[in-house]
Amino acid sequence: MNEFFSKYKKIIIFGAGPIVDKLLDSVNLQIQYIIDNDPRKWGKKLSGIKIFNPDVLKTEDKNELVIIITSFFYDEEIRNQLSEMGFKRYENYFSIDEIYPIGKTRAAHHPELLQNENIVLLKSVSDGRVMIDKKELKVYRGFYKNAAAEYKEVFDNCLELKLFNDYLVNLNISNIENIHPFGIVFEQDYIRPITDSNEWSPLMMIDAANRTIDLQILLSKRNLTIHDPLPPNIIYDNTYKWLDFGSIWNIDKITNTKEPVFWNVDQFFYCEHPISTFFEEIVINCKKNKESFDKNKINNNIFGFLSEAERKKYINIRQRIFNKCIENKFAEAFAIIKDYFNEFTIEVDLNLISYYEEMFHYPNLTKEDYIVLDMIDKICSDTMVLIDLGRLYNKKSVKLFKKLDDKIKKIIVTSNSSVFNDCIYTILQKNSIYNILPIQAQLFKHQSIHAPNNHQDFCDRYRTSTLLALNTIQELVFCQQFSFEEIFEKYSRLTDKYLIFDFDDKCNVILYSGIEQNEYEWYTYEELLKAHNKYFNLHQIISVTDSKKIILSKRK
């Protein structure tokens, strides 16, 4: 790290918070001074270094300094502030996690642990406290000395409640010692999450919510709760598990902060019901403001969802929950919330379920389907994970499910239709089929194929051995306005080995009405191959009609 800073005459820290001590404790840097937007800190010292108003930067030579942003919470605001002052990102300033690789300071003592790879979903511990050992499939999570005893107590409680492996990803206290500056290090199983809450359909959301409330009920027996408003609850081996041990706190600690105890409604429930606001409004406030609690003052974000009758019921239930919280009977409070929430389950169209289920059990396969199945059979292995991008052609996906479910470890089916995903999810649960997973993915937007809010890591999490991209090229070209090269570049980031796709060089004017064919004179098989060959080698080509081909390719 010192070598990185050698070209700068001045090193300045932006953010006079607790991370500064940890940074200085871990690396040997000569800091010129600290700046902070809080006037109350100006003129004071932190770790012997004086704190100034950010305006002092106006007199500095931009070519001689580098600024390290040490605030995670205000990182974006500070970056905007520095940009407005004329400083350039990656040239004059960096966020701490961009220049301080995970675990780097421990590399000299434990080089076998360090892969410098972050797990994106470990949100509360992605700030330098995580070390990945991919060879042994372990994650080492350090907690600083001032928090070691607290997290040891949390761990002991979770162990006694038998939450690990069931509700929480497996965790043990590591026998690794003297990893400076940690007081305790936990050893957690390394898993690549199959998916997260941004990609779940409404029914999957409800199942995950109920399971999370069950976890809250168990935790509350030991005066613990989950504090993270965006917790990384995941599906792994058909189980909703909690990935982030670091987000479990003592309830008394929660009530001394402004952190919500549960998920925000707009970030959690696709079904748009404000159950989580209970926690923000009641579980925290009942300990802070027992006397000032107004049972008639309701959050407008809640009432906007409710009818007059529902409002009256809500006020009554709200008071019951509040009373239980005052009595420290949190398990009973959570149980009331769960009962109330379950009244708002989503009704799945039974006709659609019947339609898809019939196709699922008695698939009427076409010639094309058998060609695809034969290709998959040739390249299939026991560890294969297959991604199906057939977003507008879900019936074709359903036909292939039954034929593939005993051959492939995991089939991930992407769709923009929550109705389709709910139907498929219902059928899969009903038939105890666990290796098929429908996800709600917004494909090919922005810079990568991604799910909402997670587009930067979608390809990393879903990259697999085989990508099935049937009936997608036309839609991506004519509706999404992608070139062939853009499409195959994105395909290449989702597969390590094989790609199965089809191509019809005749525009489907029925499906894409209003398109002038002369605007797409480049839409030819020859042009497609030019783009394809930059990323893939042709492995097998089978003609279905004069204009349509099914192609099996292998990554270069």
Q: How confident is the model at residue 228 (pLDDT cuts 50, 70, 90)?
A: low
CA angle (274 as vertex; 273, 276 as ends), nearest 5? 125
Q: Say whether pLDDT at 260 is over 70.
A: no
Assess whether 320 and 426 both reside in one domain.
Answer: no
- The pairing of strands 65-69 and 93-95 is parallel
Answer for the pair 329, 321: CB distance below 8 angstroms, yes or no: no
Q: Scanning the structure block, which residue is given the tokens 């600290």?
A: 34
Cα gap 160→154, rounded to integer Å: 10
Helix (H, G, I), strand (E, B) or coil at 304: coil
Assess whether 83 and 121 both reside in one domain.
Answer: no
Assess whether 42 and 164 both reside in one domain.
Answer: no
Cα gap 64→61, rounded to integer Å: 6
Question: Taking the alpha carbons of 310, 316, 319, 324 in that order, is the dihedral positive or negative?
Answer: negative
Other beta carbons within 10 angstroms of residue 425's beta carbon come to 21
Assess whether 401 and 448 both reside in one domain.
Answer: yes
Q: Scanning the structure block, which residue is given the tokens 């309830």?
A: 251
Q: Say whether pLDDT at 269 is over 60.
A: no
The mean of the pLDDT values for the chain is 73
pLDDT score for 498: 92
Assess whether 54 and 154 both reside in one domain.
Answer: no
pLDDT score for 131: 63
Average pLDDT over residues 452-476: 70
Assess whether 395 and 501 both reside in one domain.
Answer: yes
Cα gap 113→156, rounded to integer Å: 25
Three-class HEC string of 343-396: HHCCCCCHHHHHHHHHHHHCCCCCHHHHHHHHHHHHHCCCCCEEEECCCCCHHH
Copy the structure tokens of residue 305: 């969802």
CATH number of the domain residue 46 falls in: 3.40.50.720
Assess whether 393 and 542 both reside in one domain.
Answer: yes
Q: Scanning the structure block, which residue is given the tokens 């997260």?
A: 196
Each residue's pLDDT tens digit, 381-433: 666 677 777 654 566 677 777 777 777 777 878 877 778 888 888 888 888 88
pLDDT score for 329: 78
pLDDT score for 556: 92
Average pLDDT over residues 189-206: 71
Could you tell me which of 408, 354, 399 has the C-alpha nearest to residue 376?
Answer: 408
**Buried-exposed string 446-476: b where 16+ CB fall within 10 A, e elsewhere:** eebbbbeebbebbbebbbbbbbbbbbbbbbb
pTM over 0.85: no
Assess whether 111 and 68 both reside in one domain.
Answer: no
Task: Out of 344, 378, 401, pick the residue that ends a domain.
Answer: 344
Helix (H, G, I), strand (E, B) or coil at 178: coil
Highest mean pLDDT among 381-385, 476-480, 487-491: 487-491
Assess whether 170 and 232 both reside in one domain.
Answer: no
Q: Say whether pLDDT at 338 is over 80.
A: no
Each residue's pLDDT tens digit, 65-117: 989 888 766 777 888 899 889 998 878 888 776 665 433 333 333 333 333 33
Task: Out of 140, 160, 189, pick the residue that ends a domain.
Answer: 189
CATH number of the domain residue 363 falls in: 3.40.50.150
Cα gap 155→184, rounded to integer Å: 11
Query: Which has more confidence, 68 or 297?
Result: 68
Domain, as residue range, for 14: 2-99
pLDDT score for 54: 93
Three-class HEC string of 131-173: EEECCCCEEEEEEEHHHHHHHHHHHHHHHHCCCECCCECCEEE
Task: Out of 169, 189, 209, pick the residue that ends a domain.
Answer: 189
Q: Say whether pLDDT at 293 is over 60.
A: no
Assess whether 288 and 402 both reside in one domain.
Answer: no
Assess whether 314 and 339 both reside in one domain.
Answer: yes
Q: Which helix (H) or strand (E) element contains residue 525?
A: helix 525-532
CA angle (448 as vertex; 443, 451 as ends), nearest 5? 50
HSE on the CB side for 411, CA within 13 Å? 26
Assess whether 423 and 486 both reside in one domain.
Answer: yes
Number of domains in the chain: 4
Range of weakest confidence among 138-152, 161-175, 229-243, 479-493:
229-243
